[in-house]
Structure 1
């Protein structure tokens, strides 16, 4: 611990150092902060003097963090996030949605739900400045926990502690097969164990839809075609239409992804059909919980009002209406 008379690092110094730590390049870091390179270098040097230690290894070609620098970068990020939260909470107490909301969305939801949500956000919350980051589940959950995202729209449960999860709707998975496949000519819903005799193509690693499909396959002893993976749902549908196998597709994606494929057929499963629950999640520790609940209610209403092929969960904040598992009231996972 430093003597109490020693000067403390300033927020400007911490921001300058953290920018260098993230970019590992002084010019790029200075550009990201819209300041001169000399001013940035002076701020970092002042921080090193204040902490009585070297944080960076400087060469003519690159910048490296020292072991101490790596630790200080972690603490600096936490301090700056806490300050941003403090400023945000003060602003929110004066005017809701006065600071941006950063929303993360998984790729197997974004193309089918965002066209419904974005116009609604603009009309219902004219002050809201929304940014959207589309990425796989693991990425957006990690960014949510680190404070880089405020809310995420994804498949529930996340199995992540310290989050409030708000179920919005449940949707079935349909089986997509080539039009000339034997199953395309059968009538009536399919039993799940029909998957045991099929070559199933999947999304690649990191997509929650892949993991959900794998779980269903394991339940019935089905196999997945290891040689054929896709990076997106549109590509997956093209592979099936081209005869490379069959796949599971969420019903909300059907109107967008399958209408242009004459060589594709869709089959339903017998009840209870396999499917997934989609909802919002945010940090339980956030000071903006009231705003996020308002957004969740608006998202629920927007999806319900557009007639998407899904079963709505209970309206957020109610005790559940039995229309779809699980109950729609927010569930808070315990903090670590």
Structure 2
């Protein structure tokens, strides 16, 4: 009978790959550095193969086999987690911890209305929140560090399963006195040549959604000033530096409050889709779908 690695050994290996530092990996696993090092050494002895190069440097250097096994370890840990989740979901649905990730252009504007509703509907659900850019959330989901994502589609999510909840139309934010502010709603074609288009920095999915709605190619690197948040974008627009597109969710959530920007709907039905996303074949898929109704209700109130 073949001796198999323990889940703890696999966790040590994955943590070391993610944190690229023995001390930080040990802290993430809540063990001492010597315990983590010993665990990985025991794994190498079990496999009779080197997973790390012992170069004496501060950062771990994985062998080609080590890199391959990190990926396999993630898959194995996700499968073990799914076993536990299946039992928990069958025993008591919508209870216990749920690690939810969301993007910065949704979380601050939806969660204040959504959280009281979730507490009322699912009082035994313990929700842990993480806000980050979509690509990093998708990576955390694939690695099993998150259970569920609340994000905007379309996005390059690989093999995730999704449940679309609602559409979030775009609103054009214009500087004070801009000629297009005379229109009740603004066609995308009118934005071409109407002034600089201000965008979030690269990595925010809203940037790609805005460019797609305008039918505009991404500016050349260094050819624009990119903001890190919607609040910064609105202040730049109010200062006369250009125009931008905002999700209606953010506008309803007060992102433009106190700014001098002129707001007009973008015509043509251009919108991003707000959706839930989870790992394929997750045993908690039906639980995740059950969250779509309270989220849609919270969105209808905006």
After TM superposition, the score normalised by the length of structure 1 is 0.80
Instruction: Give 4+ residue runs of structure 1 displaced > 4 Å after superposition.
Output: 221-225
Structure 2 residue 210 is matched with structure 1 residue 213: yes
The Cα of 1:202 is off from its aligned counterpart by: 1.4
Aligned partner of 2:117 in structure 1 is 120
Structure 2 residue 279 is matched with structure 1 residue 283: yes
Structure 2 residue 15 is matched with structure 1 residue 19: yes
Structure 1 residues 173, 54: CA separation in 2 closer, same or farther (over 3 Å shift)? same
Q: CA RMSD in A?
A: 2.5
Q: State the SS of the aligned residue for 1:169.
A: strand
Structure 1 residues 52, 115: CA separation in 2 closer, same or farther (over 3 Å shift)? same
Please list every run of 5 or more consecutive structure 2 residues that lacks an aligned counterpart in the other structure: none
CA distance in 1, matches of 2:240, 2:266: 21
Q: Select the residue among 31, 36, 43 that pairs with 1:35.
A: 31
CA distance in 2, matches of 1:183, 1:128: 47
Structure 2 residue 293 is matched with structure 1 residue 294: no
Aligned partner of 1:181 in structure 2 is 178
The Cα of 1:170 is off from its aligned counterpart by: 1.7
Structure 2 residue 261 is matched with structure 1 residue 267: no
Contact 2:153 2:272 in 1 (8 A): yes
CA distance in 1, matches of 2:17, 2:81: 19
CA distance in 2, matches of 1:223, 1:142: 26
Asked which structure has the greater CA Rg, the reply is 1
The Cα of 1:223 is off from its aligned counterpart by: 8.3
Structure 1 residues 121, 86: CA separation in 2 closer, same or farther (over 3 Å shift)? same
Spell out, residue by residue over 1:237-264, the C-alpha distance to the aligned partner (whole angstroms, 9 max, x if none).
1110111111111112124111211x22
CA distance in 2, matches of 1:68, 1:139: 25
Structure 2 residue 138 is matched with structure 1 residue 141: yes
Structure 1 residues 152, 192: CA separation in 2 closer, same or farther (over 3 Å shift)? same
Q: State the SS of the aligned residue for 2:171.
A: strand
CA distance in 1, matches of 2:33, 2:119: 38
Spell out, residue by residue over 1:143-198, the C-alpha distance to the aligned partner (whole angstroms, 9 max, x if none).
333433222222224454533322222232121111122233x2533333211231
CA distance in 1, matches of 2:153, 2:227: 22
The Cα of 1:20 is off from its aligned counterpart by: 3.0
Contact 1:217 1:223 in 2 (8 A): no
Contact 1:101 1:130 in 2 (8 A): yes
Aligned partner of 2:255 in structure 1 is 257
CA distance in 2, matches of 1:170, 1:70: 40
The Cα of 1:226 is off from its aligned counterpart by: 3.5
Structure 1 residues 222, 129: CA separation in 2 closer, same or farther (over 3 Å shift)? closer
CA distance in 2, matches of 1:267, 1:116: 24
Spell out, residue by residue over 1:91-145, the C-alpha distance to the aligned partner (whole angstroms, 9 max, x if none).
2211223442222212111111111111222222122121222222222233333
Structure 2 residue 52 is matched with structure 1 residue 56: yes
Aligned partner of 1:74 in structure 2 is 71
Aligned partner of 1:152 in structure 2 is 149
Q: State the SS of the aligned residue for 1:240.
A: helix
Please list every run of 5 or more consecutive structure 1 residues that lacks an aligned counterpart in the other structure: 309-336
After TM superposition, the score normalised by the length of structure 2 is 0.88
The Cα of 1:274 is off from its aligned counterpart by: 2.5
CA distance in 2, matches of 1:171, 1:7: 52
Aligned positions, number: 298
Contact 1:137 1:208 in 2 (8 A): yes
Q: Select the residue among 159, 164, 167 that pairs with 2:164.
A: 167
